[in-house]
């Protein structure tokens, strides 16, 4: 089984630039994928931010399991981490983010006014892993198409300041990962979510990982989508054998890679229902890697 890892030179450079710019901002907006809300947090960003206020913004909530999203919101809030779950396609996104930032920084802003300083815009840095939905959110915040969007990692390639309103200025940054993933389970979650370039990991490994999840949590959706019988999901059927059956159902004979790519694509886009690959109880259980 090949090891999944992706940390090219441009990401190392971007992290250095983020560190250099950190003193210029009041707050960090870290976007995390609601389907993988723990594993899409960047430990390097957490280290660089230090004590600086940070708002976790959960994106792609329309594709995530709503019950598990609620569990994660409770988990983050109980641990003192401000969080906002957004469907970036909805209205009032800019207002929600601005109001939340003002609440987090209310003491700092009040102290500035007490010193006679003029009211100013909050300066926020937007960070996140590749393809987390940052450009889509920024386009809502600035109310025009200033950030390129796309369902592939690496759309944003440099840092840029954007004005949302008189109350909020944003420093956009490229999507970045970190030098070494904690586990290969985390790497597969990132790959399945779209944070890693599709050309850089074995498709069948990630498809098997996806099928293990679907067998356990989305049985009916899996059976319906690929016209499977209950016998196909019995305990004695291995996941690689199940992938082979699905490959044939797709009309691809034994082309595992092409079928795997299609399964990953369809799962990402919600064709097999909403999903969240991790739960706060996983942290309590101290899951170990394979």
- Whole-number pLDDT of residue 14: 94
How high is the mean pLDDT in each 10-residue block of the chain (290 residues)? 91 95 96 98 96 96 97 97 87 88 95 92 95 88 58 53 85 94 97 96 97 97 97 95 96 93 97 97 66
Give pTM, 2 decimals: 0.90
- Whole-number pLDDT of residue 210: 98
Contact 131, 194 (CB under 8 A): yes
136 is in an annotated binding site: yes
Say which residue the tokens 């920084």 belong to.
105
142 is in an annotated binding site: no
Instruction: Report the C-alpha gap between 244 and 246 in whole angstroms.
Output: 5
- Whole-number pLDDT of residue 287: 54
CB atoms within 10 A of CB 82: 16
180 is in an annotated binding site: no
134 is in an annotated binding site: yes
- Whole-number pLDDT of residue 94: 85
- Whole-number pLDDT of residue 166: 79
Homologous superfamily (CATH) for 9-172: P-loop containing nucleotide triphosphate hydrolases (3.40.50.300)
270 is in an annotated binding site: no
- Whole-number pLDDT of residue 288: 45
- Whole-number pLDDT of residue 251: 94
Q: Domain coordinates of the chain in residue numbers?
A: 9-172, 202-281
């Amino acid at each position: 089984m090949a090891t999944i890892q992706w940390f090219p030179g441009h990401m190392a450079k971007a992290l250095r630039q983020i560190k250099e710019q950190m003193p210029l901002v009041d707050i960090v907006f870290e976007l995390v994928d609601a389907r993988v809300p723990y594993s899409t947090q960047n430990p390097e960003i957490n280290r660089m931010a230090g004590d600086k206020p940070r708002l976790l913004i959960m994106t792609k909530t329309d594709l995530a399991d709503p019950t598990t999203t609620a569990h994660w919101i409770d988990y983050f809030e109980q641990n003192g981490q401000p969080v906002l779950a957004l469907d970036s396609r909805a209205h009032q996104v800019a207002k929600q983010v601005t109001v939340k930032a003002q609440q987090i920084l209310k003491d700092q802003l009040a102290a500035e006014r007490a010193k006679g300083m003029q009211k100013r815009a909050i300066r926020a840095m937007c960070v996140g892993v590749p393809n987390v939905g940052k450009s889509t959110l920024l386009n809502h915040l600035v109310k025009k198409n200033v950030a390129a969007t796309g369902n592939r990692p690496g759309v944003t390639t440099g840092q840029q300041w954007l004005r949302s309103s008189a109350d909020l200025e944003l420093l956009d940054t490229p999507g970045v990962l970190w030098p070494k993933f904690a586990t290969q389970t985390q790497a597969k979650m990132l790959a399945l979510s779209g944070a890693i370039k599709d050309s850089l990991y074995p498709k069948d490994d990630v498809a098997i990982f996806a099928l293990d999840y679907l067998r356990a949590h989305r049985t009916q959706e899996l059976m319906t989508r690929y016209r499977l019988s209950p016998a196909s999901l019995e305990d004695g059927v291995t996941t690689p054998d199940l992938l082979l059956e699905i490959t044939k159902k797709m009309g691809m004979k034994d082309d595992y890679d092409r079928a795997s790519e299609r399964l990953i694509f369809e799962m990402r886009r919600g064709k097999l229902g909403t999903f969240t690959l991790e739960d706060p109880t996983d942290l309590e259980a101290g899951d170990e890697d394979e």
